Amino acid sequence: KLKHFPCLSSGKGSVLISLSNSNLFNNVLGVEISKKLTAISEKNVKLKKSSNVNVLTCNATDTPLELISDSNFFFFYNPFPCDVFEKVFKKIELSLEKEKRQCVIMYFNPIYKNIIDNSISFNEKIVCKNILSNADTYIYFEGFDSDK
């Protein structure tokens, strides 16, 4: 099991609930800037009895570094404007500098993929097509031994 999954810009909580039910993560954390969406998400989580889910109301750029550092899997579905995405990604990079670990970023319909592609981290990636939307999904890897 992976330690934490932060869902940055978690909306109404459907991803949180799905991941909670998957039993892949010890804790699933939603980060949502909208108090209204946080309240809806918390209600949905409660209805589905997802016990390992917490929702934090804040800007994704203000997500505590400790939570980012405790996480090794990030999913993005174009949740932010470019400047916010860049700040969030830089926070992930900073966390990797402080604590080397394996890390995966799954980025659906990657409008700002150049931010990750131009970084010194995440040099390995896989590109997949979503069969329903025909949009690309990029899966970036950091800290994995590419020779094995």
- Token pair, residue 85, equals 């995405």
The predicted-structure confidence for 76-88, as pLDDT tens digits, reads as follows 988 899 999 999 9
The better pLDDT of the pair 24, 110 is held by: 110
The predicted-structure confidence for 29-62, as pLDDT tens digits, reads as follows 999 999 999 999 999 999 999 989 999 999 999 9
Average pLDDT over residues 131-148: 85
Residue 142 has pLDDT above 70, yes or no: yes
Residue 133 has pLDDT above 90, yes or no: no
In sequence order, what are the beta bridge partners of 53?
A: 28
> What's the pLDDT score for residue 145?
76
Residue 121 has pLDDT above 90, yes or no: yes
> What's the pLDDT score for residue 87?
97
